[in-house]
Amino acid sequence: MKRLRIGVLASGGGTNLQALIDSCERGEIDGDIVAVISNVPKAGALERAQNHGIDVFCFPSEGVSREDHEADLVECLEQHRVDVVCLAGYLRVLTPVMINKFPGRILNTHPALLPSFGGKGMHGLNVHRAVLDYGCKVSGCTIHLVTLDVDGGPIVMQKTVPVLEDDTPETLQQRVLKEEHKLYPRAVQLFAQGRVKLDGRRARILET
């Protein structure tokens, strides 16, 4: 079976990228990360990728239109013959330039149980603060496909975590992140196995 060629976009430290790298190296994903791209020159994700011999690229987004920026991303990803694009803390909303080039093939992780606590401004500690302020008893993470509707694409996988009485946004974030690091590679492996089938807005998981 052909190995999945994975491209990763990241803006920050890249802990989810590291989880994907480790899973590929352990043979838990039938694929390889062939390119890591950031819009931030000093993003820790670039160093993580370089440490594992992965090609890295930086296309600074400051002062560049979203469409022109994404045209550079698309060209780089296509040159590396990427099958699936994984967003790993990529803090930019994608435009049709990217989404139309990789329809149903862009994955993102969100630190809450979508459709709750998603959308504009819902990233990082903002999400966990909102979960606690609302008084939720559970939270979790969601791996979903990226569409023009921010955080509104078909859900591939979800995992719940309990919200504890003494939780702070930081402690909840760490517990959710631990599950993200497990769930994201599992979702990518489903794509490597060809087991994700879109049915309207539902992403159905086919049996092996």
Distance of CA 119 to the CA centre of its chain: 15
Q: Which helix (H) or strand (E) holds 73?
A: helix 66-79
Q: Which residues pair with 138 in a beta bridge?
A: 162
Q: Say which of 110, 128, 144, 181 is annotated catalytic.
A: 110
- What's the pLDDT tens digit per position in 3-40? 999 999 999 999 999 999 999 999 999 999 999 999 99
Task: Give the model's pLDDT for residue 170.
Answer: 98
Task: Give the model's pLDDT for residue 120.
Answer: 87
CB < 8 Å & 24+ apart, contacts of 72-76:
73/9, 73/37, 73/98, 74/98, 74/101, 76/7, 76/35, 76/37
- What's the pLDDT tens digit per position in 49-107? 999 999 999 999 889 999 999 999 999 999 999 999 999 999 899 999 999 999 999 99
- What's the pLDDT tens digit per position in 136-158? 999 999 999 999 999 999 999 99
pTM of the predicted model as reported, rounded to 2 decimal places: 0.95
CATH number of 194's domain: 3.40.50.170
Answer yes or no: 80 catalytic: no
Domain count across the chain: 1
Structural domain including 128 reads: 4-205
Q: What is the mean pLDDT of the chain?
A: 96
Question: Is residue 1's pLDDT more than 80?
Answer: no
Q: How confident is the model at residue 160 (pLDDT cuts 50, 70, 90)?
A: very high
